[in-house]
Amino acid sequence: MNLEIVLDDKSFHSLKQSMPKGSRSNLTMEKAFHLKRFGSNAVIICDAAEARTLLLYAGHCPGVTAPIHRALREAGLPLDPPTGE
């Protein structure tokens, strides 16, 4: 299932800067598209596992956590990954 995470430009660039150079998540960020309609926003399309990975990188990006949580909730998914228990 694909999630759509909408970030303002400042949050998008903050998240992008927080990722290590060799991270596979960089590819996800490169595939994001930008909307100029209502301000300037970036839309990241990814699966739940990748969204949770982005949360790990978003520790110091205040505008990133809430949109990722919103995307997971709207998809009916838990905020935390399944533990397998």
Whether residue 80 lies inside any domain: the answer is no
Whether residue 26 lies inside any domain: the answer is yes
Whether residue 17 lies inside any domain: the answer is yes
Whether residue 9 lies inside any domain: the answer is yes
Whether residue 85 lies inside any domain: the answer is no
Residue 78 pLDDT class (50, 70, 90 cuts):
confident
* Distance of alpha carbon 54 from alpha carbon 34, whole angstroms: 18
Q: Residue 35 has what pLDDT? A: 74
40: which residues sit within 8 A by CB, 6+ positions away? 8, 9, 34
Owning domain of residue 46 = 3-74
| φ, ψ for residue 32, nearest 5 deg | -60, 150
pLDDT tens for each residue of 10-26:
999 999 999 998 899 98
Whether residue 83 lies inside any domain: the answer is no
pTM here? Answer: 0.84
Whether residue 79 lies inside any domain: the answer is no
Please report which helix (H) or strand (E) contains residue 45, including its range.
Answer: strand 41-46
Whether residue 81 lies inside any domain: the answer is no
Q: How many domains does the chain have?
A: 1
